[in-house]
Amino acid sequence: MDRTERFYRIDRLLRERRIVPVRVFLDALEISLATFKRDIEYMRDRFHAPIVWDRQRGGYAFTDAEKHAPAYELPGLWFSAGEIHALLAAEKLLEDVGSGLLAGQLAPLKNRLEQLLGSADHSAEEVRTRIRLLHAGRRKMALPHFETVAAATLKRRRLKLRYYSRVNDAVTEREVSPQRLAHYRDNWYLDAWCHTRDGIRSFAVDAIRGAELLDAKAKAVPDKDLDEELASGYGFLAVFVAAVTLRGVERRHRLHGELHAFAEQIENLLVVGLLLLLGGSLTAGVLSGLTLGGVVVAVALVFIVRPAIGAAALWGTKLSRPERWAVGFFGVRGLGSVYYLAYGASAATFPAIERLWPIVVLTVVLSIVVHGVTSTPAMRHVDRIARRRVVRRRTGARPLESRAEREHTDGH
């Protein structure tokens, strides 16, 4: 605790116990004897605290102040950031209960919060006026459905829901085993096992159009499974659903094209920045620790490993063999390797990781040079092969361009 809090703790102990031994102060404040004595002297000198040591009773106590002595008064106490947020958030949640079944039981708690908010140097109304908690994305919730869902969750019984999907704009019927209610970003969600979909699902309570309590006992799902599936996914799912919904509603909107163009521009800028950093690392001697084995690994990655893996991954697609090898050979440029190695180095400890940096940098440099030089002629060659295949399929004859190329080759 800070010094101001200690002053208030000392004052409260003296008022509650009259005589307070030094050991009680030290245990309550968790400070040394020297610090405690400095605090007592500070309170006497600065706040005019009438604190005296009573030798007979073996402790400190308040005594009557002298007639013309300055009044004893501690400095104004204010809430910490966490305390004021907790008090205002609790008050707001209680206000949202409205006229529900617990309104009468919660009234004393509301009054207690009112007293706590006004227990510092400012009134509760002044605190509410000057400090705001902004709630982002709060949606209107049907209270009767919430009460039914909460009852089923606590009684461990199944629910029959009529649930509205914002993605499909449709209402479906679900039979679920409620597991827990989660309050996330000012909205309520029901984590449940969906028997209709045979899996764990999270339902927005405000999207429930109807809820019926069933007699069947709810299926129990371990908290570990719920946490692995849902605990860290609410924000991600919200962004994903929002993106899918916007894409489905405004598929042909011009903003989609502008957004993709903007994303490509940002990507190109980042690539330029990484290339500049890569060039700087080359001049700084990042390849100085490169060995012959590292060179072999880098060459194999660019010319053998990545093309083979890329072509194998595309096996069974509609791409032709030359197209599969072209995609496998070029693929994604090697700058991503820098990110993955940097992330691995920061997330864990690996022995001799400094040997990997020269290999990764050489691999990226080879990829940039080799792919930059060969991409244009290679893609032209793949296009010629594709055109020949199309012409053969349609007419059964070779295209004029390929015939001329063949005669030119035969003439030489």
Asked if residue 303 and residue 204 are part of one domain, the reply reads no
What is the per-residue pLDDT for 193?
Answer: 94
For the chain, count helices (H), then strands (E): 16, 7
Distance, first Cα to last Cα, the chain: 92
CB atoms within 10 A of CB 389: 13
In the chain, the number of structural domains is: 4
Nearest to 95 by CA among 107, 79, 81, 82: 107
Question: Mean pLDDT in the chain?
Answer: 77
Q: Considering the domain boundaries, does residue 378 fall inside one?
A: yes
Q: Considering the domain boundaries, does residue 137 fall inside one?
A: no
Give the residue numbers spanning the domain of 121. Answer: 81-130
Asked if residue 291 and residue 389 are part of one domain, the reply reads yes
Note the pLDDT tens digit of each residue in 222-232.
Answer: 988 888 777 65
**Rounded to 5 degrees, what angle do the CA atoms 378, 379, 380 make?**
90
Asked if residue 242 and residue 174 are part of one domain, the reply reads yes
Domain limit, last residue, from 32, 62, 92: 62
Q: Considering the domain boundaries, does residue 280 fall inside one?
A: no
Asked if residue 317 and residue 390 are part of one domain, the reply reads yes
Asked if residue 152 and residue 243 are part of one domain, the reply reads yes
Asked if residue 48 and residue 23 are part of one domain, the reply reads yes
Asked if residue 213 and residue 171 are part of one domain, the reply reads yes
What is the per-residue pLDDT for 130?
Answer: 61
Per-position DSSP letters for 154-174, written without gaps between them: HHTEEEEEEEEETTTTEEEEE
Q: Which of 30-34, 104-108, 318-322, 406-410 has the lowest mean pLDDT?
A: 406-410
CATH number, domain containing residue 208: 2.30.30.530
Do the Cβ atoms of 364 and 306 come closer than 8 Å? no
Q: Considering the domain boundaries, does residue 167 fall inside one?
A: yes
Do the Cβ atoms of 29 and 10 come closer than 8 Å? yes
Note the pLDDT tens digit of each residue in 114-154.
Answer: 665 555 555 666 666 666 555 555 666 555 688 888 889 98
Mean pLDDT over residues 67-81, rounded? 68
Do the Cβ atoms of 101 and 147 come closer than 8 Å? yes
Asked if residue 355 and residue 313 are part of one domain, the reply reads yes
Alpha-carbon distance 238 to 195, whole Å?
23
Tell me the pLDDT band of 366, cut-offs 50, 70 and 90.
Answer: confident
Asked if residue 109 and residue 21 are part of one domain, the reply reads no
Q: Report the DSSP pairing between strands 199-204 and 187-194.
A: antiparallel
